[in-house]
Structure 1
């Protein structure tokens, strides 16, 4: 078996005990990138010589008996909207097409410290503001399952790369499903951690770039991986107490243990978009597996998730409104159309231009919803929800038709409600239906990442192993 087939957990163990070398692992992934990336356009700025040099240093550290990080020698890709020293950091924008970062953002530094070997930068839409992955300077990324369907966004390049075997782990970030949705579209695992667990500190630039409040409070860094175990390994490596991050935590939380069967609350529909039959079937299957494993499963109504999804449209659209002129100037036509339909969708719920009172009340209401959801979940209850009300969208579904573009925001309620509330959530595949992966989402109480990953592991252990038809 080629080494690129192996999960990160096996690669890390093999490198540590010298059964394989980091050079062999990295070369295998580079060979896989050379074979499949030209057809998928998932990774950019691939520099084999640099990656192999880093791998040789990793092997020398093993030979020298140096203390090794949990990802020592493991090939990893990183996203072009996250600063990595010396690498393209374009955000998918033509005006930044040649920009290379001077230093690492905190999450990149954490991966580097854990021993990861960076093999390429993953593609993303302009401004990372779509559930699709294409942009003017770097082109379109394809889903390895279907060239006609989105690989997801904004971490579409990351998900496509993992699904195609280019890397076992990719770094992504999530403010509206940008880790979880691409993972689902490509049939891999993606986890969005609790806000603050992974530092969002950004390396200094010549000009301070203060993002709007929604970006500061909702955006998180998280991994995409081929297995739940790999996602857990990567998340632990990325978790980085950091008080430079204004919302960072000072120390890693204890890993709560349920101490017995969990309560699994199935939420199928919050009144925004009826789930597609394949989505409902995936929920039924996952719920059955969890009941079989001894958990207490029941279906409930939970309107607060629908309310949170509606708040996402209000608060994000109003936060971004002052930035629109610059986004229109720097972005591509797809971004301009997508943002137009976002504001049309928001207007259907909140009016053409909500006043300051609505905005303030929206933030106040958010706090109440967080409290109520935490009271429901505690440390022994999880939610089982769709990832989206629909299977993976057809390419450019957000921009080809105004009504369709507006409708996607309703279908994506499981993706948008979670960032508003700040809870951890993981996307895990269950099956392939009509040639496309289908996944479910598990949401847990704040800082219960280990718990939601345990539930995802239970599902993964019963689901068929799926791989895209590339070979």
Structure 2
């Protein structure tokens, strides 16, 4: 059931939160031992939280818009119920003193945390595996990746272990797993949804600018429901914003079927075409035109991200080493990306970002929504992002439209657009101008409805 319907039924007394949580815990017991999506499960705490929701309903009070909805929380988002490990062996004792703002807002809205979503070390791989908890498996084909880094949450949502997943997206970490599992994912605009509080430790510039918290769900409406709970300024997050609704934008779409910088698989292109047809049928003006500087934006994202990771995750900075696969990915990725060696080059890359962002803003005045693939290749095998510098370059290039969005801080919604020749999900993304998250969700709804009708 969609999260919105679950919450409505709990508020109306047609279901109890206890029944909802027990049903999800039963699904976890059935599927999680094999899939390894939720390395930590909050069975007892979730049942107590559900009882609190039911007590509010019995007293005639409204528990909130997420009443009784089971939520998974990624391993790098603070919740006091367990350690925030970030998928890293060094974090096993890092139990936070308080919930992250997004978790607090979910709980205040009646949501029930049910488990922790698995992820790679510090979220830096495009596959979900680590030495602490192991690999998360794809429920349709265990030889294929679930992508990363919010892979555990995506599998949990897709298989009914949770109704909404709380993830984050630095380089596609919400949109990629959503596309792999045939569900929906939202990367909100920069600053729209609060992140972690900043206290003592410095936060690298790319993490400040490229990463946002965002939800995964089975429907676009559930993404919108989650965003309504999560968004809003937070005094603990220095880059969070209080965003007012902007002017209504025209319903015009630019389709980038083959994003500049490489090719596209025929099955992926067919998914983009199907989404474009759904939008046209819903009354959108659709034009095939590529956004500016896309390949350059992807390249700058890569070099800036690898520069910061090489510094912040260097062995002499970590009390416990990275896991084996994370170590290989960092080594090969930095070797291929060529991190900036001088402050002048690093600063120039950030300066160039403003020029590219301005050109995208001009482009999106005429074409507010950009439709394109998530990955330009079909779902790859596990560890596709390992195997040497060339493998990391191949992985980055197939994800070039994804990381360009992170580079520019734009909102993007991933929605299913059919299946490939192996009957595995194909996802597309709808990219809107900064803080026009509602427009991206509107376009995604029309794709969702149109694809379902075909």
Shorter-chain TM-score range:
over 0.9
The offset of 1:401, in angstroms, is: 4.7
SS of 2:228's equivalent in the other structure is helix
- Quote the residue 2:76 is aligned against: 81
Contact 2:385 2:392 in 1 (8 A): yes
- Quote the residue 2:323 is aligned against: 332
CA distance in structure 1 between the partners assigned to 2:207 and 2:401 by the alignment: 18
CA distance in structure 2 between the partners assigned to 1:7 and 1:122 by the alignment: 19
Contact 1:88 1:121 in 2 (8 A): no
| TM-score between both structures, scaled by the size of structure 2 | 0.95
Matched, 1:231 2:223: yes
- Quote the residue 1:440 is aligned against: 428
CA distance in structure 1 between the partners assigned to 2:35 and 2:28 by the alignment: 10
- Quote the residue 2:332 is aligned against: 341
Which piece of structure 1 moves more, 262-271 or 292-301? 262-271
Contact 2:279 2:450 in 1 (8 A): no
Q: Deviations over 1:259-305 (max 9, x none)?
A: xx611001133432211111111111111111111111111132422
Q: Deviations over 1:206-237 (max 9, x none)?
A: xx222201101111000000010111101111
- Quote the residue 1:27 is aligned against: 22
Counterpart selection for 1:382 from 369, 387, 390: 369
CA distance in structure 2 between the partners assigned to 1:379 and 1:222 by the alignment: 27
Cα RMSD after superposing both structures = 1.9
- Quote the residue 2:359 is aligned against: 372
Residues 129-148 of structure 1: pairs in structure 2 closer than 5 A: 129-148=124-143
Contact 1:92 1:126 in 2 (8 A): yes
CA distance in structure 2 between the partners assigned to 1:379 and 1:34 by the alignment: 50
- Quote the residue 2:415 is aligned against: 428
Moved over 6 A (4+): none
Matched, 1:300 2:289: yes
Contact 1:398 1:404 in 2 (8 A): yes
The offset of 1:379, in angstroms, is: 9.0
- Quote the residue 1:264 is aligned against: 253
User: Where does the alignment leave 5 or more consecutive residues of structure 2 unmatched?
Assistant: none
Contact 1:188 1:226 in 2 (8 A): yes
Matched, 1:108 2:95: no
Matched, 1:12 2:1: no
User: Where does the alignment leave 5 or more consecutive residues of structure 1 unmatched?
Assistant: 1-5, 467-471
Q: Deviations over 1:296-337 (max 9, x none)?
A: 111113242221101101211222222222359521110111
Q: Deviations over 1:51-72 (max 9, x none)?
A: 1111011010111122432112
- Quote the residue 1:321 is aligned against: 310
Matched, 1:214 2:209: no
SS of 1:77's equivalent in the other structure is strand
Matched, 1:173 2:161: no
Counterpart selection for 1:49 from 30, 44, 64: 44
CA distance in structure 2 between the partners assigned to 1:240 and 1:146 by the alignment: 38
Counterpart selection for 1:91 from 83, 86, 89: 86
Which piece of structure 1 moves more, 24-33 or 338-347? 338-347
- Quote the residue 2:240 is aligned against: 248
Contact 1:275 1:390 in 2 (8 A): yes
CA distance in structure 1 between the partners assigned to 2:246 and 2:230 by the alignment: 16
CA spacing shift, 1:457–1:328, aligned 2, 3 Å: farther
| TM-score between both structures, scaled by the size of structure 1 | 0.92
SS of 2:260's equivalent in the other structure is coil
Aligned residues: 451
CA distance in structure 2 between the partners assigned to 1:134 and 1:233 by the alignment: 30
- Quote the residue 2:59 is aligned against: 64
SS of 1:463's equivalent in the other structure is helix
Matched, 1:452 2:440: yes
Contact 2:189 2:409 in 1 (8 A): yes
CA distance in structure 2 between the partners assigned to 1:148 and 1:268 by the alignment: 27
Q: Deviations over 1:336-379 (max 9, x none)?
A: 111122113313xxxx6543222111101101111221222249
CA distance in structure 1 between the partners assigned to 2:439 and 2:367 by the alignment: 8
Counterpart selection for 2:402 from 412, 415, 432: 415
SS of 1:76's equivalent in the other structure is strand
CA distance in structure 1 between the partners assigned to 2:16 and 2:366 by the alignment: 40
SS of 1:135's equivalent in the other structure is coil
Contact 2:257 2:269 in 1 (8 A): yes
